[in-house]
Each structure stands twice: as structure tokens, then as C-alpha cells.
Amino acid sequence: MKRRVYLLLCIAMFSLTAYAGNRDAQDTAAVNKLLRQSSSLQRSNVDSCYLLAIQALQLSQNAQYQQGLAGAYIRMSAVMMIKGKSDSAMSYAQMAIAISEHIEDHLRTSYAYLLMGYLYQDKGMPDSSMAMIYESQRYGELAKDSGNLLRVFGVLGNFHLEYKEYDKALFYYLKTYKLSLKVNNMSSAADALIGIGNVYYFKGKLHTALRYYFKVDSLSRLLNEKTGVAQNLNNIALCYADLKQYDKALDYYLMALKEYQAFGMRSEEANLYYNLACMYEALQQSNGVVFYANKALILAQELDGRDKVAKCYQLLARAYGQKGDYTKAYHYQEQYALLNDSLLNTEKVRSISEMQTKYETELKNQEIAILQRENDISRLKASRSLGMNVGLGSALLGIVFVAFGFYTQSKKKEKLNTELTFEKKKSDDLLLNILPEEVANELKQNGEAVARQYNNVTVLFTDFVNFTGLSEQMSPTELVQEIHRNFTAFDAIIEKHGLEKIKTIGDAYLAVCGLPNETTDHAQRVARAALDIRDYMANNSGKFEVRIGIHSGPVVAGIVGVKKYAYDIWGDTVNTASRMESSSEAGKINISTSTYELIKAAFNCTYRGKINAKHKGEVDMYFIDQSVT
């Protein structure tokens, strides 16, 4: 909650102007004008933007003008999102999707799905968010609109920033900025500068981030984009707070707060109060923490921002602990734990439910195909019976005919059964290729696979060093071949040591040991696999070097997704393993204390000391050197 990525930027690039078609020219022209005016006011006066969208909606309804309706709903959804009214925003976006898909307006459909993606992200539902963004990208490609490139680059930048792939995020933000200047889209240029500033902020390069944020401030004021100015003031305040220049930070927070309140940007106001509470926590002024955290909590509860509510509970628990009020501290910590567990489970249960529905639908389709084939067989049997009732006067001919028919029908039935067996094996093999065998069997037997918690597993992350820089020196074909060669070797090593491959994420590789079948030597198996991967890369890697990170602890595992579903794992253990990887070095295997304690008798390790890990603070880390057994 402390750092909100500037999400509304891509939406404003599209004016949502409708096209007249066969409708009355005056009505459609009026709708187009209202939508253009509404779009131009989104960054400076959201209330006027909304009123103009309402007028466009009413006029479109009277004229039965579908494109105008879709455009108006998209604009209304964007305004509701700015105001923090996510349920209303989602409702408008869904109506826009229904209309634009019906009339095959791919560009509007793309923008409506993008809004849905942002709304799900704000609700703390990343899986649903990414599903919507993928749909947005798909429809954007169908639209074949050159201006859509700006949106695609911006979304890709935000995606990589969300997953802390900073080099990739910076690459796409720079592409957005260059293209924006080329087509003279200064609003999009401001968006790209915000993204670049965000990258440097998260990388801890605060002075560089400030330079970009001040460029955004100048450009936004020049363009009279008041909401953009307000959001960027919060960015500047965050930088000064992290630089411990608290007086300057407070000045910028208060300037941003004034703008948020003027424009009714309640979600941003809640975020700002939380930031102020964090600043007072850094100053060890618990009264200030309680004051601003409570203001943030009230707004977050009103807006149904469950992720924000959980973070406010956590902040209040620490503040009351510092004040010595342990009763309240325990109360808020308990509330945080309950809500955090709910946030972890709700999205996963929904995803699993959707996946089960899809699987059941596919089973029904297979059953229908089987029934159709059985009907074919039944018809063949019926024709055989009919043939056997031929009159005695042509008995000899009938016997010959029936014998031939029986032989033919038997061959057809045998072929059909063979095809069914083959198709079933293909289906089973495909399922085993994307799910662990135990999970696949549970899914086939019960029609569902329940998400489970495993308390003792070890997670392995790998990543290629300077991947972005090296990839720019290679052709796409060479790049894919190199990644494929290495990951194929990793797959063999993972299988050799009894680990479960979870997925690849770009140039990262994620695997785990200890699930779905629990094992006591999970940490040792992962350590041996990591050493094999390290040695393979040292001897055969070609252009790439690898960083490896390992951490042991509990995870939740289950099936997610509706399209291209997959087995996945979640929890702080996964995040910590990722931190171990990012804190490692080229050709090294970096592990946490929990993993070290499990393997220290069997492996030589070097203590690195306490090293700062993002969002984890100072953490004891070790390098695995070699096995001693």
C-alpha cells in the first residue's frame, strides 16, 4: 500500500471517440464531442469528466448508439476508479465489455478489460488482474491500432515493475517515452517518466527517482493535468521521506492531500494517510502513526480495500506495541492475521473454482464425444440385427451379407475403441505435463483438487545475470534457443533430484521440494540440485551466468487460472526465496538461515553476514560451497 503505481495513465490516451456509421449524424457527432471533452478533463476535473460521460450515455441511449454507450461506460468506469469506488467502476467496465464485444469494437474492449485489470489489482487480486490484462492485450492486437502500442508498452512496463523485474520495466518505459515524443503525445510521455521514476524508486536510487518525478511535475502542470500533478506530489513526498528529509516530505504530502480532497480521490487519500503513518513510524512517533493509520483505515474500510485494511491493522499493531498498549497491539495483529489469511485464500479459491468448472466442462465435452461414438456403434449393431432378419428365400445371400457386415462393424468398433483409448492417453499425458501426478489423479477422481498448505518445503529460484543487456545483443531466435537449452538441462536436474518444477517466469526458474509428497530431506535435495545447476552453468552456459536463491518454510500450493491453468505455490517462503536469489551473486547459491540449519551437516557453507533484503530488513545469508557427503 505504501507505493501505489500510477495506473490510470494508459486509459487517458484514448479519447473513446465513437464513429457515426449509419446513425443520425447530428446525434453521433454530439456523442463524439462529449466523449472527447470528457476524456480531456479526466486528469484535471474528474467531476466534469463524469457529467459529460453521463450526457454522452443518455444521448447514446436515445439514439441506440452502441459505440457511444461503450465509450461512455468506459469513461464513467475510469472516473469511479479515480474516486476509489471500485464496485461502481467494475460494473461500468463490465457493461462496456458486453457492448463492445457484441459490436466487435476491439479497441474499446481492450480498454475496458484494462480497466478491469487495474480494478482487480487495486483489490489485491493479482491473478484476476493479469487475466484481464492478457485479454486487453489480445483485443488490442485485434484492433491493429498504431496508437495502441503506447498502451501495450505501458502495461508491460507496469507488469514487470509489479514483479520487480526492474531492467525489463525500464526497457518498456523507455520505449513508451521515445514513441510518445515521436508521435507528440505528451500525456503518454509524462506516464512513461512516472514509470521510470518508479523503477528508480524501487531500486533505492531516490535522487534519480526525484529528478524524474520533478520532470513529471513540470510536464503535468504544463498540460494542466491536475490529478496527475496530485499523484506525482505523493511520489515526491515518498522520496523525501525515504531520504529522511521529513519536513519536505510533509510539505508535499499536504499539497497532495489538498488536491486529493478537492477531486474526491478517496482511494489516493487513504494511501497518502498510510504513507504519513509510515513516515511517523520512521520518526518513532507512535501517536502520529495511530492518528494517520486510523484515518487510512476508515477510508480503506469504506472503499472495501481489504489489502489496505490489512496493512493498516499491521501498522496499528506495531504502533500500539511501541506505546506499550499490548492489548490493542494484540487485537490489531490478530485482525491483520485473519484478514491476511483471507486475502491469501479468497483469490486462490476463486481461481481453483473457475479451473474446476473449466475441467468439468471439458469432461462433459469428452462424454458427449464418447456418446456420439457409442451411438455410431449402436447404429451399426442395429443395422447388423436388421441384416440378420433377412427372409429365408435369400438365406445364403443374407448370411454372406451379415457375416461381412459383422466383420466390418467389429473393425469399426475396434477402431473407435482404439481412438478413444488413444485420446484418453493423450489427455492424461497432457494433464501430467502441467500438474504433479498426485494432483492430476485427485482432479480426475474427484473432479477437484483442493489447495493445501505444506509446512516443510524448500523453494529454489534461479535467474540469469544481466539478462536484459545480453538479450539485446542476441537475435530472438538465438535468445530462445539459449534459454531453451539451459532450461532443458535444469528440467533434467530437477527430475534427477526429485524436485517439482513449478514454472518459468521469463528468464527465472522456480522449483520446490517437499510437495505434493512430503519428504524429510527436501532441503538437501534442493541443495544438490542447485550445485548441479551451478556446475552445469559454469561448464556449459554459453553467454549466461546464473544466480540461485533457496529458502525453506511453509507454502500454499494449488491450481490457478482458467486458461492455460497451472500448479502454483504462494506464501512468504516463495517471496523470501526470491529475495535470496536477488541477493545472490553470479555463479553462487545463496541460502537463508532456515535452509542452512537443515543442510549444514551435509554441505560446506560460507556465512555472508547480515545483508539487507528488500522488505525483509537485515537477513543472515550463506553461500553453499560444496557437498561433504
pLDDT for the residue 565: 55
Which residue has better confidence, 79 or 360? 79
Which residue has better confidence, 540 or 224? 224
* For residue 384, pLDDT beyond 80: no
Query: Mean per-residue pLDDT for 533-537?
Result: 91
* For residue 219, pLDDT beyond 80: yes
Which element (helix H / strand E) includes 549? strand 546-560
In the beta sheet, which residues pair with residue 175?
A: none
Q: What is the 3-state secondary structure (H, E, C) of 256-270?
A: HHHHHHHHCCHHHHH
Instruction: Count other Cβ atoms within 10 Å, centred on residue 193.
Output: 26
What is the amino acid identity at position 274? Y
Whether the CB-CB separation of 296 and 277 falls below 8 Å is answered with: yes
pLDDT for the residue 279: 92
Q: How confident is the model at residue 81 (pLDDT cuts 50, 70, 90)?
A: confident
**Alpha-carbon gap, residue 626 to 605, rounded angstroms:** 7
111-134: buried (b, 16+ CB within 10 Å) or exposed (e) per residue?
bbbbbbbbbbbbbbbebbbbbbbb
DSSP 418-480: HHHHHHHHHHHHHHHHHS-HHHHHHHHHHS----EEEEEEEEEEEEETTHHHHHTTS-HHHHH
pLDDT for the residue 209: 94
Which range is most confident: 3-7, 364-368, 588-592, 617-621?
Answer: 588-592
Q: How confident is the model at residue 273 (pLDDT cuts 50, 70, 90)?
A: very high
Lowest-confidence pick of 204-208, 226-230, 439-443, 482-486: 439-443
Q: How confident is the model at residue 400 (pLDDT cuts 50, 70, 90)?
A: very low
Whether the CB-CB separation of 97 and 136 falls below 8 Å is answered with: no
* For residue 402, pLDDT beyond 50: no
Q: How confident is the model at residue 139 (pLDDT cuts 50, 70, 90)?
A: confident
pLDDT for the residue 249: 92
CA separation, residue 573 to residues 345, 528, 549 (Å): 16, 19, 11
Which residue has better confidence, 455 or 400? 455
* For residue 349, pLDDT beyond 70: no
Which range is most confident: 192-196, 307-311, 404-408?
Answer: 192-196
* 318 alpha-carbon distance from chain centroid: 30
pLDDT for the residue 47: 81
Q: How confident is the model at residue 307 (pLDDT cuts 50, 70, 90)?
A: confident
> Which are the contacts of 349, defined by CB distance < 8 A and separation ≥ 6?
451
pLDDT for the residue 480: 75
CA separation, residue 571 to residues 284, 362, 454, 568, 578 (Å): 29, 31, 11, 11, 11
pLDDT for the residue 417: 56
* 559 phi and psi angles, rounded to 5 deg: -100, 135
pLDDT tens-digit readout, 43-67:
667 788 888 888 888 888 888 888 8
Q: How confident is the model at residue 462 (pLDDT cuts 50, 70, 90)?
A: very high
Lowest-confidence pick of 318-322, 470-474, 515-519: 470-474
Q: How far apart are the first and last CA of the chain?
A: 46
> Which are the contacts of 89, defined by CB distance < 8 A and separation ≥ 6?
77, 78, 79, 80, 81, 115, 119
pLDDT for the residue 24: 65
Which range is most confident: 9-13, 152-156, 246-250, 464-468?
Answer: 246-250
Q: How confident is the model at residue 304 (pLDDT cuts 50, 70, 90)?
A: low
**Alpha-carbon gap, residue 43 to 230, rounded angstroms:** 10
Mean pLDDT of the chain: 77
> Which are the contacts of 71, defined by CB distance < 8 A and separation ≥ 6?
16, 17, 18, 31, 35, 56, 60, 96, 108
**Could you give the percent of the chain with pLDDT greater than 70?**
74
* For residue 370, pLDDT beyond 60: no
Which of these, 336, 321, 225, 234, lies nearest to 281 by C-alpha position?
321
Q: How confident is the model at residue 562 (pLDDT cuts 50, 70, 90)?
A: very low
* For residue 284, pLDDT beyond 60: yes
* For residue 605, pLDDT beyond 90: yes
**Could you give the percent of the chain with pLDDT greater than 90?**
25
Whether the CB-CB separation of 88 and 72 falls below 8 Å is answered with: no
Task: Give the number of residues written for the chain.
Answer: 629
pLDDT for the residue 131: 76
pLDDT for the residue 524: 94
pLDDT for the residue 244: 92
* For residue 2, pLDDT beyond 50: no
* For residue 200, pLDDT beyond 90: yes
- To the nearest 10 degrees (0 to 180), the angle between helices 226-242 and 246-263 is 160
